[in-house]
Amino acid sequence: MLSSEPHVPAASPVGVRDRSTALTCGLLLAIAAVAWIHVVTSSTASHDDMAMGASLPTLAGAAAFVAAWGVMMTAMMVPSALPMIALYGAIRRRATDPATKGVTVAAFTLVYLAVWTMTGVPAYAGSVLVDVVAAGVVPYGVASVLVVAGVYQLSPLKQVCLRACRSPLGFLLGRWRPGRRGSLALAWAHALYCLGCCWALMLVLVVAGAMGLPWVLLVAALVTAEKLSPGGEWIARVAGGVLVLLGLALAMRPDLVTMLRAGHTM
């Protein structure tokens, strides 16, 4: 009789701290650092890729925007995803049967980054929309986005997705399936849970922060704190409350949107 339990290669506490895991973490952090350097230098340029993407609603502009968005997502999301990726690599390396190993750590990571890069398509559409709507409508649109994002931060669905991101071992043990197809499905599930956890904050980044560097740094710090700090669930709830209050304040004082979007570079 076939067992319904997934076959997971053993992963001892020592196994997740081996030299290969350390090298994997170091490489991913180096990639994130390079991405951050690009984000910072682009934000100080007079005509960066994102600026061209938002001001030219064309296929070329969209491609430039999505490429720049992908680099920004690499900088923002890789550090908080590091525990999940490193643990996947440690478990995979301890598999003795080649059939259970699944895809490489690089492929697992690329699936994650590909999903986040593709969110640049709706982000581009949102950026263009913000730029073309009447100026008098923008403050109320921004206020609505902040309230929606804040309410989502307080929702049970946010907490479900956040718990999956905060518990990499439980996530992997509960969803591990042998073979390439199984590990690709695992990578896909990881990316979707992360997207479910953070999409509202990225929406705020696009519409309210207009992807100015201060907002990028703030959202990146919030995402990392939610996923990695001991009180991450409460950080998410506090951030949700702040977003709701900020949205209500903007609805009553539309002139404040200029201050909120002072980092607008598009």
pLDDT at res. 235 = 96
Closest to 116 (Cα-Cα) out of 21, 197, 222, 217: 197
For the segment 238-251, what is each residue's pLDDT rounded down to a tens digit?
999 999 999 999 88
Distance CA 202, CA 5 (A): 36
For the segment 44-84, what is each residue's pLDDT rounded down to a tens digit?
664 444 444 445 578 888 898 999 999 999 999 999 999 99
3-class DSSP state of 229: coil
For the segment 154-205, what is each residue's pLDDT rounded down to a tens digit?
999 999 999 999 999 999 988 888 788 888 999 999 999 999 999 999 999 8
For the segment 3-45, what is each residue's pLDDT rounded down to a tens digit?
444 555 544 443 445 677 778 888 889 999 999 999 988 876 6
Residue at token pair 């479900």:
160
pTM, rounded to two decimals = 0.84
Q: What is the band of 99 on the pLDDT scale with cuts at 50, 70, 90?
A: low
For the segment 157-169, what is each residue's pLDDT rounded down to a tens digit?
999 999 999 999 9
Euclidean distance between the first and the last CA atom of the chain, given in angstroms as a whole number:
60
pLDDT at res. 265 = 46
Distance CA 21, CA 23 (A): 5
Q: What's the mean pLDDT in 108-136?
A: 87
